[in-house]
C-alpha cells in the first residue's frame, strides 16, 4: 500500500484543519505546495462535493455551445473542476492559482490552454476582462483565504451573458464570511452587474473535520449571469 492509499480520515482531517488556520499568505502558499501531491485523494476521503456541484450547476444552466466556450477556473488547484466540466462537454480552460505545485498538477491534466500564477486578493486577476463564457471559483471563498471583494474581478472577467459560479462552506467557522459574501453579491445585484440564476444550499457538502461538528457540514453554490 502506498503512502497516498493509506491516508485515513484522521490524517486528512488534520490536513484540512491546518489549511483553514489563519496564517500568512506565504505560509499558506507553502502549505498548498506541499498538499498538491495528495490533494485529490484527500478530497475524496472527506467526500468534498463542491467541484461536482459547481460543474453540475454550470452544465444545467449553460445554453451556449460548450465545445466553443472559454472557461476561467479561478483557484483551479489540481484541475478537479476542469476534469468534471470536460466530461460535460467543455473543452477550453484557463486556470489561475497561487500555488506553483498545484499548477504543475493542473498542467499534467492536459486540459488547460493557459495557466497563470497569481495570489488572489494580492495580485489582480491576470486575465482579459469581458472575455469568458464561464467563470468558476471553488473552494477559495472562505475566511482563511480571500476577501469577498475578489468576486468583482470574477464578474469583470466574464463576458456579457456569461455565467459566474462560486461556492463557499456554511459551517460554523465560515458563517460570518458567508454572510459578508452574500452582502457583496447582493450589492453587485443592486449595482446591475449581474443577476441571480440559482442559489443552492447543500446540507452535505463535505465531511466535518472539527471536534464540534459531526457528520457533514453544509455549503452553498451561487450561480450568476453577468449583465
Enter the pTM of the model. Answer: 0.94
5 in a domain, yes or no?
Answer: no
pLDDT in tens, 111-123: 999 999 999 988 8
> 40 in a domain, yes or no?
no
Domain harbouring 173, CATH code: 3.40.50.150
- Is 42 part of any domain? no
Q: By residue range, what is the domain housing residue 157?
A: 49-226
Examine residue 163 and state whether it is found in any structural domain, yes or no: yes
C-alpha to C-alpha distance for 71 and 105, rounded to whole angstroms: 18
Are the CB atoms for 198 and 138 separated by under 8 Å?
Answer: no
* Structural domain contains residue 32: no
Total domains present in the chain: 1
Question: How do residues 147-201 score in pLDDT, each as one tens digit?
Answer: 999 999 999 999 999 999 999 999 999 999 999 999 999 999 999 999 999 999 9
Amino acid at each position: 500500500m502506498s503512502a497516498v492509499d493509506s491516508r485515513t480520515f484522521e490524517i486528512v482531517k488534520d490536513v484540512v484543519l491546518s489549511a483553514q488556520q489563519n496564517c500568512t499568505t506565504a505560509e499558506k502558499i507553502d502549505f498548498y505546495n506541499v498538499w498538491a501531491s495528495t490533494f485529490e485523494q484527500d478530497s475524496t476521503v472527506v467526500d468534498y462535493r463542491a467541484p461536482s456541484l459547481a460543474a453540475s450547476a454550470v452544465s444545467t444552466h449553460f445554453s451556449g455551445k460548450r465545445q466553443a466556450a472559454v472557461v476561467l477556473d479561478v483557484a483551479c488547484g489540481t484541475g478537479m473542476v476542469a476534469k468534471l466540466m470536460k466530461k460535460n462537454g467543455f473543452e477550453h480552460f484557463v486556470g489561475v492559482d497561487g500555488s506553483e505545485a498545484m499548477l504543475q498538477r493542473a498542467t499534467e491534466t492536459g486540459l488547460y490552454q493557459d495557466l497563470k500564477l497569481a495570489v488572489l486578493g494580492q495580485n489582480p486577476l491576470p486575465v482579459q476582462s469581458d472575455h469568458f463564457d464561464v467563470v468558476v471559483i471553488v473552494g477559495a471563498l472562505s475566511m482563511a483565504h480571500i476577501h469577498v471583494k475578489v468576486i468583482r474581478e470574477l464578474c469583470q472577467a466574464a463576458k456579457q451573458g456569461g455565467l459566474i459560479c462560486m461556492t463557499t462552506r456554511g459551517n460554523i467557522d465560515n458563517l460570518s464570511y458567508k454572510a459578508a459574501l452574500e452582502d457583496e453579491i447582493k450589492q453587485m445585484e443592486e449595482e446591475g452587474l449581474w443577476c441571480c440564476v440559482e442559489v443552492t444550499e447543500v446540507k452535505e457538502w463535505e465531511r466535518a473535520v472539527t471536534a464540534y461538528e459531526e457528520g457533514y457540514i453544509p455549503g452553498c453554490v451561487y450561480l450568476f449571469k453577468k449583465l
